[in-house]
């Protein structure tokens, strides 16, 4: 009985994490679209660029599906201009990170 409860709890927390991640992605895309790059730059500057690069390199279609990220929604929202803005905000490793993102969303 405790195992069933633990399993359900893990499922619920996993779904909440997926929704939070999708919401964060959507918020970042909105910031790019609306030109609110100062806020986004502050958030990106807090991230270790080497760690970000490693995490992006680990992404593939199956991992993205496991995370319930809606690639079609992202493809429809993001433009080349958005990617170039993001690249300039990321700075170090920006070229590599954007190249991987383009590879993922094509």
> Residue 103: pLDDT above 80?
yes
> Residue 13: pLDDT above 80?
no
CB burial string 58-71: b at 16+ within 10 A, e below = eeeeeeeeeeebee
H helices of 35-93, in order, are 37-45, 49-58, 61-66, 71-77, 80-90
CA distance linking residue 17 with residue 50, whole number of Å? 23
Lowest-pLDDT range of 1-5, 44-48, 54-58, 97-101: 1-5
pLDDT digits (tens, 9 = 90+) for 52-82: 888 888 877 777 777 777 788 888 888 888 8
Instruction: Give the SS3 label for residue 93.
Output: coil
The average pLDDT across 40-59 equals 80
Q: Sorting pLDDT into bands at 50, 70 and 90, what band is 12? A: low
């Amino acid at each position: 009985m405790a195992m069933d409860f633990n399993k359900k709890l893990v499922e619920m927390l996993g779904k909440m994490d997926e929704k939070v991640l999708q919401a964060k992605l959507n918020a970042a895309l909105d910031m790019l679209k609306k030109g609110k790059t100062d806020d986004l730059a502050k958030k990106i500057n807090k991230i270790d660029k080497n760690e970000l690069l490693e995490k992006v390199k680990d992404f593939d279609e199956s991992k993205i599906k496991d995370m319930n990220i809606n690639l079609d929604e992202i493809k429809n929202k993001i433009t080349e201009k958005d990617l170039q803005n993001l690249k300039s905000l990321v700075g170090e490793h920006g070229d590599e990170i954007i190249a991987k993102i383009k590879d993922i969303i094509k």
